[in-house]
Amino acid sequence: MKKILVADDSKIISNIIERAFQDKYEVVVAVNGKEAIDIVKNNVDDSIIGLFLDLNMPEVDGFAVLDYFKENNLFKRIPVCIITGDVQKDRIDRSFNYDIVDVLAKPFTFDSVREEVEKIVNLNNMG
């Protein structure tokens, strides 16, 4: 089964995404950037089709994950959508310096999450 990786320390956010896609994808949750990077490193079967990434997490933040993706040329293999409650324009602008799909502002709806996953899946199928 194809997987969606959610890197967010908020149980509410990961639960929303899990409920939205439990019938279609396996949702894998990382509570910080280090866990997300470890999961991606161990993804030898390329089953992760997309990453929902929070910028503000403990230990290792979302920008460190974005740097890891950039250094390892992973954006084409695993499309990334930023999910953030951060309203600081400079941080959101900074995230667009990476090859991300989009930024989804918290709080979000099932429909907006589904739209982002469709973008991710379509990008993933093109590559």
Query: Which CATH number do you get for residue 79?
Result: 3.40.50.2300
Total of domains in the chain:
1
Residue type, 67: D
Predicted local confidence at residue 111, as pLDDT: 80
Is the pLDDT higher at 11 or at 106?
11
- Domain range spanning residue 20? 3-126
Average pLDDT over residues 81-108: 84
Within a 10 A sphere around the Cβ of 84, how many other Cβ atoms? 19
Eight-class DSSP state of 14: H
pLDDT in tens, 103-127: 888 777 778 777 877 777 777 665 5
Q: Long-range pairs for 109-113 at CB < 8 Å and ≥24 separation? A: 110/16, 110/19, 110/20, 113/16, 113/17, 113/20, 113/52
Q: Mention every residue, 6+ apart, whose C-beta is less than 8 A from residue 36.
A: 5, 7, 30, 51, 53, 60, 65
Query: Across all residues in the chain, what is the average pLDDT?
Result: 87
Is the pLDDT higher at 35 or at 117?
35
The answer, as to whether pTM is greater than 0.75, is yes
Within a 10 A sphere around the Cβ of 44, how many other Cβ atoms? 6
Q: What angle do CA 44, 103, 55 make, to 5 degrees?
A: 70
Predicted local confidence at residue 87, as pLDDT: 66
Worst-scoring range by mean pLDDT, 33-42, 66-75, 101-110? Answer: 101-110
Q: Nearest Cα to 41, choosing from 1, 68, 14, 75?
A: 68
